[in-house]
Chain A
Amino acid sequence: MTRKLPALTPENRAFWQGGADKELRMHHCGECSRFFHPPAPICPRCLSEDVAPKAVSGAGKVVTFTVNHQPWHADLKDPYVVAIVELAEQAGLRFVTNIVGMAPEDVFIDMPVSVCFEQVEDVWLPLFEKAA
């Protein structure tokens, strides 16, 4: 599946390249001890600049999802699942991703998932599979 890749920046690099070390890295505030996303040089909650990427477990659950049937281009003929996954570490810590490795029609809200990575060039996309 071809993918549009993100331009890497000092802020987002840890998220997009953590997979090289098999780690999902989310920005974390040392002051209020909370994760936040998307990554930024400052904590949006307490405005502390004591922020840095921190590895998380990669466990989470499906908040919502959709099975895309529209072939936006020739390489996307097969249905695929777009989802928002919430990570186990913190309520509300979530991002858009794909659910892979299973029949699209079997995905459901609250399904437990775990991260896996798909490398394309210098980006390791954090995708999710149904948890064992």
Chain B
Amino acid sequence: MMFDRLYEKDVAITGIGQSEVGRPSNKSAMRLTLDACLEAIADAGLSRDDIDGVSCWPGDNNNGDAFSPVGPNALIGTLGLNVNWYGGGYEGPGPLAGVINGAMAIAAGLCRHVLVFRTITEATRRQTDKGASALTSKTVGRDTSAAWQWYTPFNVLSGVNLMAMYAQRHFHDYGTTPEQLAQIALTCRANAALNPKAVYRTPLSMDDYMASRMISTPLRMLDCDVHCDASTAIILSRVDAAQDGPNPPVRIEAIGAALHQPWSWDQLDLTAMATRDCGDMMWARTDIKPAEVGNAQLYDGFSILTMMWLEGLRLCPRGESGPFVEGGRRIALTGELPVNTNGGQLSGGRTHGLGYVHEACSQLWGRAGARQVAPHKVAVAASGGGPLGGSLLLVRD
């Protein structure tokens, strides 16, 4: 793969913000969104009037359900923004699409400072509707969706069944064990204990994991992320407008957004999904090497996905994520590659995508408090499962 223009080099992250992470929160979706966005704008040393773009994945999908109750349309008016470009929508390279699209808008000359945000209120929604996040809730009556119609008739009612089949095949092909998989959940919980905002902070043992209820073999309850109410925001700035703020700019060194296979949950590479396509693209756009990564925030909507991101982004060889995470030493806060340092979505809360970028920057800026890892310059954030996948290589010079 050859690229002769590397647009992301024109863009840096200059500020971050996040609301409370509630299970549930008593605040409205818009209140949470404003908490995150106003904090991010102030953190970048900017004012409301500096923001000339808004980006979001997935936007409110014209229905504002709990998966994404606030999109750019509502936020622009509420914050009184005057934007030159804005965008949202589900179709794109996963939960980091808001960052990837916003960075493109800056590099294309449309904007100088783009506010990227992601709000989710699934904890509140599930108090009244346990099926709120089911695949069947995406269509009324007969299934008309291009993808889900091939799964829901077979009572695939949650993404967990698809991820479980990926995990089963990974176990079969590579000898990955339940004890190895458990290490993702155990590592996240250990890190969450040091994150005051994390949803689950009580200690977790291997025995606790093995006693966890089976949801869809081989995935247990503790392999599934925890719903929450939260909003996360990131400020993207053109690099020449990023130098005067209070934070050292975190440059977007390279992005991965590739999908070289069908957008499908059963026609794709079952033990890599989109992660290798993203990894190939991301590493082709930089001279930095995987060994230089000092913190890795890797999607853990389900634990097996973190394993596949480790392999797909070449942070360990293909098929070797099991031995790599075994015992947890390498991926611990003090290890060679700290992973999901805020507790991830498994224990921190399903902020769904931008939480990984928020944490990667917190670590690069040395603002991660009790969970701060050793000083480093390079981080990676990746998000998505199945055909959804996007990754960011972030550098603090």
Residues in A lying within 8 Å of B, measured CB to CB: 1, 3-8, 12, 37-38, 44, 63-70, 72-73, 76, 80, 82-84, 94-98, 109, 123, 125, 127
Contact = CB atoms under 8 A, between A and B. Distances in A.
B87 to A, nearest CB: 28
A6 B152 CA distance: 8
Interface of B: 131, 134, 136, 141-144, 149-158, 160-162, 164-166, 168-169, 172, 213-219, 262, 264-267, 270
Contacts of A109: 168-169, 172
A72 B131 contact: yes
Interface of chain A, helix or strand or loop or mixed? Answer: strand
Contacts of A67: 214, 216-217
A37 B143 contact: no
B215 A4 contact: no
A95 B215 CA distance: 22
B266 A72 contact: no
A97 B165 CA distance: 12
A7 B143 contact: yes
A91 B131 CA distance: 36
A125 B143 CA distance: 14
A64 B165 contact: yes
A51 B144 CA distance: 22
Nearest to A123: B153
Given A69-B213, A69-B216, A96-B266, A5 B165 contact: no
B156 A96 contact: yes
Contacts of A66: 161, 164-165, 168, 216-219
Given A5-B142, A63-B169, A38 B153 contact: no
15 contacts: A3-B152, A4-B142, A37-B267, A64-B168, A65-B165, A66-B217, A72-B131, A73-B157, A76-B157, A82-B154, A83-B165, A84-B165, A94-B266, A95-B266, A96-B266
